[in-house]
Chains A and B, each alone.
Chain A
């Protein structure tokens, strides 16, 4: 049996199912309880599981993350929500000094099997600090896993995998596509393995690597080029560990690559993918690797965000450049 769900409903479904499966799983954060989350990602969980498992915390990101580190070390599986990824920074010290390193520092005696969820990304006309894509901060930190689903099916399966994972996972949810479309999502719990990319569209001319909310405009761009350029679209889904095998395999097939991400260009994950292609498949390379990304500017206010975010037109032009070189 399955249900036709939006991405945010699938997140909620994943939380709900895993809480039913495992009494150690709890949800904590600001407004996650009675209110059901500002995006409704925890709707109904409070009534079903009670105040000890769906915890409205004080407004304190370091507290929400730091106490979860302690809880996880003590055998629980907290899923902490930070209301927007732009507010993770007060807890950044806890993420990079403790959450990521507890296993290493204790030589494996203590572990930190927690999940940190946060809505991320732009495109919803949000106020300042509500639209950034800063996944690179977390990918750069050893000991963390970083996931970013682009479909309802993946959102539920990857979230369940993240909760069951023995390591800490930063689970970033592209809020622009929280309610953009629906997909059949199985009722029962299931896992989508972290660290595996998904080929969303097969093609032979250019490989395009993307993730999160950029996946759909990239597929749209690929469809617009149909007949001129045969585009392969790879949705990475998991950014740490990243499925470089699929990246390289796709590139060897096409010899041309474009990378699409919402995050700023410099130091973005696109640079890592481009470097890996150079290291592992240089002799297959027919063209420079194109990067179609956000700019190296602060994320603009809503009035300008459409100019900042890659859209099918710009993405298509970049793919064409890679093809025509």
Chain B
């Protein structure tokens, strides 16, 4: 398993600090801190009924931020539904992520200049999309673009994992497959998903490289993802372009806010993994190497609190979605029958009023 820093933020034997500027190291920490704080606030908003069911990411910031920062501007990210931190690095405003989980259609608006694909809820179904996107890029003879796809350990049991990876191997597409192995697929543990010793080794079956990395070590994640991204863009090499990265990590919280993890795992296990928390590790690394001090950390803390508060305020200030939006974007041109249904919908709203149509 690839590691760069240990639990105390110290370099492990033989490891090298990745080639990032001091500012970039601090930026990495800021993004992680922002993701953590966002996550805690979002869970709390769900408890207050201000956000719907929400999938928390705490514990996975190292994997998300470390990998997302390894992408170049023109690279693409294909997420599942838990990569709020990675998407934020890619350029998706926090407000959008909040709106989506609040059930607001506008949360689906990805800014035109952000190379991020849509959230995919059906497990592993985004993997063939990532292969297809990368394959199209290759067929268009684009160079210098990599396509990073996230999924969890549970997804590796799905047929779409196999089909997407297998196509990527056969057609040698510029893909990076990034498995956030957080040990649990809701209540089913990693060892119940597969008898393979590692998930990374599954890459061998598809003819390309697999690498296992400490997913709670953002610097190690950055390093292996950067290498995989470069490999994806290198069509000269004899090796196949895709890589499967298994980032070994832990989900501190629930699968979603509708889940109670105490039913299927004990506190002892959670505590064991908390010792590997990527945030204190990164903080210690910054302090140990003189890249940040207490004051800097405190500044970042208040900065992210403010950013998250602003995002929540902006999301909650959004007017309720226009109910007619249901009918938009189903087809390029609205079919006549759908137009008739829209007319009917307008007429019942007019006749009964919205209050009558909405649950109390």
Chain A contacts to B: CB under 8 angstroms: 26, 52, 57-58, 60, 62-63, 65-76, 90, 93-94, 97-98, 102-111, 142-143, 145, 165-167, 195, 240-242, 244-245
Asked whether, in the complex, the Cβ of B329 is within 8 Å of the Cβ of A75, the reply is no
Q: Which of B125, B127, B162 contacts A93 (CB 8 A)?
A: B125
Asked whether, in the complex, the Cβ of B136 is within 8 Å of the Cβ of A75, the reply is yes
| CA gap between A109 and B331 in the complex, in Å | 12
| CA gap between A209 and B274 in the complex, in Å | 66
Q: A102-B118, A103-B332, A143-B331 are in contact. Are A109 and B110 (CB under 8 A)?
A: yes
Q: Is B240 an interface residue (CB 8 A)?
A: no
| CA gap between A29 and B140 in the complex, in Å | 19
Q: Which residues of A contact B128 (CB under 8 A)?
A: 62-63, 65-67, 69-70, 94
| CA gap between A102 and B120 in the complex, in Å | 10
| CA gap between A75 and B330 in the complex, in Å | 19
Q: Is B290 an interface residue (CB 8 A)?
A: no
Q: A70-B128, A70-B135, A94-B125 are in contact. Are A111 and B108 (CB under 8 A)?
A: no
| CA gap between A66 and B127 in the complex, in Å | 8
Q: Which of B109, B121, B130, B166 contacts A70 (CB 8 A)?
A: B130
Q: Which of A66, A73, A75, A76 contacts B164 (CB 8 A)?
A: A66
One digit per residue, 1 when the CB lies within 8 angstroms of any chain A CB and 0 when it does not, for chain B 243-285 equals 0000000000000000000000000000000000000000000
| CA gap between A71 and B134 in the complex, in Å | 8
Q: Which of A60, A98, A104, A142 contacts B129 (CB 8 A)?
A: A98
Residue of B nearest to A66 (CB): B128
Q: Which of A71, A143, A244 contacts B330 (CB 8 A)?
A: A143
Asked whether, in the complex, the Cβ of A76 is within 8 Å of the Cβ of B167, the reply is no
Asked whether, in the complex, the Cβ of A60 is within 8 Å of the Cβ of B117, the reply is no
Q: Is B163 an interface residue (CB 8 A)?
A: yes
Q: Which residues of A contact B121 (CB under 8 A)?
A: 97
| CA gap between A6 and B333 in the complex, in Å | 32
Q: Which residues of B contact A69 (CB under 8 A)?
A: 128-129, 132
Q: Which B64-99 residues have a C-beta within 8 angstroms of A?
A: none
Q: Is B139 an interface residue (CB 8 A)?
A: yes
Q: Which residues of B contact A108 (CB under 8 A)?
A: 328-329
Residue of A nearest to B331 (CB): A167
Chain B proximity of A23: nearest CB distance (Å): 10
Chain A proximity of B281: nearest CB distance (Å): 35
Apart from A60-B167, A106-B110, A143-B330: 4 A-B pairs, beta carbons within 8 A: A66-B129, A70-B135, A71-B136, A98-B129
| Number of cross-chain contacts by CB at 8 Å | 132
Residue of B nearest to A105 (CB): B118
Residue of A nearest to B134 (CB): A70
Q: A93-B125, A105-B108, A106-B108 are in contact. Are A66 and B163 (CB under 8 A)?
A: yes
Asked whether, in the complex, the Cβ of A106 is within 8 Å of the Cβ of B118, the reply is yes
Q: A60-B163, A63-B167, A66-B163 are in contact. Are A107 and B109 (CB under 8 A)?
A: yes
Q: A57-B167, A105-B108 are in contact. Are A67 and B135 (CB under 8 A)?
A: yes
19 pairs, A vs B, C-beta closer than 8 Å = A58-B163, A62-B159, A63-B128, A66-B160, A67-B131, A67-B132, A68-B132, A69-B129, A70-B133, A70-B136, A71-B133, A71-B139, A76-B139, A76-B140, A93-B122, A94-B125, A97-B121, A97-B122, A106-B110
Q: Which residues of A contact B188 (CB under 8 A)?
A: none
| CA gap between A256 and B40 in the complex, in Å | 65
Asked whether, in the complex, the Cβ of A74 is within 8 Å of the Cβ of B166, the reply is no
Residue of A nearest to B132 (CB): A70
| CA gap between A242 and B336 in the complex, in Å | 9
Asked whether, in the complex, the Cβ of B135 is within 8 Å of the Cβ of A66, the reply is no
| CA gap between A110 and B106 in the complex, in Å | 14
One digit per residue, 1 when the CB lies within 8 angstroms of any chain A CB and 0 when it does not, for chain B 135-166 equals 11101100000000000000000011011101
| CA gap between A25 and B105 in the complex, in Å | 32
Asked whether, in the complex, the Cβ of A52 is within 8 Å of the Cβ of B117, the reply is no
Q: Which residues of B contact A97 (CB under 8 A)?
A: 121-122, 125
Chain B proximity of A195: nearest CB distance (Å): 7
Asked whether, in the complex, the Cβ of B112 is within 8 Å of the Cβ of A109, the reply is yes
| CA gap between A76 and B136 in the complex, in Å | 7
Q: Which of B117, B122, B139, B336 contacts A73 (CB 8 A)?
A: B117
| CA gap between A170 and B137 in the complex, in Å | 25
Q: Which residues of A contact B140 (CB under 8 A)?
A: 74-76
| CA gap between A166 and B332 in the complex, in Å | 6
Chain A proximity of B269: nearest CB distance (Å): 33
Residue of B nearest to A57 (CB): B167
Asked whether, in the complex, the Cβ of A71 is within 8 Å of the Cβ of B110, the reply is no
One digit per residue, 1 when the CB lies within 8 angstroms of any chain A CB and 0 when it does not, for chain B 330-348 equals 1110011100000000000
| CA gap between A107 and B121 in the complex, in Å | 16
Q: Which residues of B contact A109 (CB under 8 A)?
A: 109-110, 112
Asked whether, in the complex, the Cβ of B164 is within 8 Å of the Cβ of A110, the reply is no
Q: Is B20 an interface residue (CB 8 A)?
A: no
Residue of B nearest to A56 (CB): B170
Q: Which residues of A contact B164 (CB under 8 A)?
A: 63, 66-67
Asked whether, in the complex, the Cβ of A52 is within 8 Å of the Cβ of B139, the reply is yes
Chain A proximity of B345: nearest CB distance (Å): 14
| CA gap between A72 and B336 in the complex, in Å | 25
Asked whether, in the complex, the Cβ of B129 is within 8 Å of the Cβ of A70, the reply is yes
